[in-house]
């Protein structure tokens, strides 16, 4: 999955319905919304708040699962994004919308 180009929409289950090798099993929409395909990881070396102490809230704003929160740290002016793995399903919306050029910072 290349989520940098498009996120996995929680209201879509077409990949499982059309997969010719059945490596993606068909799921109903309710089950699909809760299916975990991965877990986001923040790349601290390129994430704007972590690497440059710049304000950026895009990943938190885009996450439909509430899996990204910000924590305060006295060494940084702005909060730092943190992924809550138990809430993340790997949909990639944060990666798709990350404003960092090139490879995403999440």
Average pLDDT value for residue range 69-77: 93
Range 43-66 average pLDDT: 96
Region 63-80: mean pLDDT is 94
pTM for the structure as a whole: 0.84
Average pLDDT across the chain, whole number? 92
CB pairs under 8 A, 24+ apart, for 18-25? none
DSSP assignments along 9-48, one per residue: -TT--HHHHH-TT-SS----HHHHHH---------TTT-H
Decide if pLDDT at 10 tops 90: no
Span 83-97, average pLDDT? 95
């Amino acid at each position: 999955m290349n989520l940098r180009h498009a996120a996995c929409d929680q209201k879509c289950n077409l990949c499982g319905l059309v997969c010719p090798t059945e490596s993606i099993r068909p799921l109903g929409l309710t089950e699909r919304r809760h299916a975990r395909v991965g877990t986001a990881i923040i790349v601290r070396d390129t994430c704007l708040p972590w690497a440059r102490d710049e304000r950026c809230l895009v990943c938190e704003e885009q996450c439909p699962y509430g899996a990204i929160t910000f924590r305060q740290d006295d060494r940084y002016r702005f909060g730092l994004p943190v992924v809550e793995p138990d809430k993340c399903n790997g949909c990639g919306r944060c990666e798709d919308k990350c404003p960092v050029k090139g490879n995403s910072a999440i």
